[in-house]
Amino acid sequence: MYDLIEGPFLSLAFIIFVLGLLYQGSRFFQLTRKKEWIAPPLPGAEKRVKKSVGQFIIDGLASVKGTLWKTDPLMMIVTSAFHVCLILAPIFLLAHNVLLDQSWGIGLWSFPESFTDWLTIVVLICVAFFLMRRLFLARVRAITSFYDYFVLLIAAAPFLTGYLAYHQWFDYRTVMILHILTAELMLITVPFTKLGHMLFFFLYRFLIGSEYSFTRGSRTW
């Protein structure tokens, strides 16, 4: 069982993850091939005004007023911490890199184990925050279905089981099997569920034609 989920299942999960993201990415570019403008560009809008670094920073800070950092700062802090830790913890975890080294002879630089342990705790605290939001905040509850709780569970389960495995709570072997299985489930579901915002967050950011993107953007849906 362990050999199966650690071997072929894991490879399959990674293949589905990578191919799924490539498919979704290519579909995105296909669907946005035709240029659309929400509003026609204003005359002279293409001209970029050269700004000094100081002015750029001042304008940047002023524009924060109109963003979610102003309207919902707590959620922005929690969601930023969650996503940063969610990406960093598994990639720079010593145990994962040791396994990579043993299998393929490659391994990334790793954080100290106590540090990744804290990153995991941050992820779990953020998940608890999201859960409370879903349960008790009227506007979130209004659009929440069972599926949203399930997706939150998919995101949280590899971290919860990883934490339990590292501290060797409960039966280690069972917890490890659950850890690998839940991580594989997460990888497989990323391209095809709302976890796909992992890819689309970046694509939209650069391509959507609005004042919210980094660039002016010329492709929109």
Partner 1 sequence: MSNQNIKPINTGEIKEMLNRQKGKMKRYLSFCAHCSLCADSCFLYRAHNRDPQYMPSYKVIQSLGKLYKKRGEADRRLLTEIKGIVWRNCVLCGRCYCPIGIHIPSMIAFARSICRSQDVYPQGDEASSESWL
The residue (of 71 and 174) whose beta carbon lies closer to partner 1 is 71
Minimum CB separation of residue 204 from partner 1 in Å reads 2
How far apart (Å, rounded) are the C-alpha atoms in residues 82 and 19? 25
Q: Which two tokens stand for residue 55?
A: 């002015």
Minimum CB separation of residue 53 from partner 1 in Å reads 27
List interacting residues with partner 1 (CB under 8 A).
24, 27-28, 30-31, 38-39, 68, 71-72, 75, 79, 137-145, 148, 192-194, 196-197, 200-201, 203-205, 208, 212-213, 220-221
The residue (of 93 and 207) whose beta carbon lies closer to partner 1 is 207
The residue (of 141 and 173) whose beta carbon lies closer to partner 1 is 141
Contact criterion met (CB below 8 Å) for 155 and 189: no
Minimum CB separation of residue 138 from partner 1 in Å reads 6
As a whole number of angstroms, the longest Cα–Cα distance in the chain is 67
Range 83-122 burial, b when 16+ CB lie within 10 A, else e: eebbebbbebbbebbeeeeeeeeeeeebbeeeebbebbeb
Minimum CB separation of residue 141 from partner 1 in Å reads 8
The residue (of 51 and 205) whose beta carbon lies closer to partner 1 is 205
Contact criterion met (CB below 8 Å) for 158 and 182: yes
The residue (of 1 and 143) whose beta carbon lies closer to partner 1 is 143
Q: Is the dihedral of CA 127, 129, 130, 136 positive or negative?
A: positive
Minimum CB separation of residue 193 from partner 1 in Å reads 7
Which of 127, 123, 88 has the alpha carbon at shortest distance from 108? 88
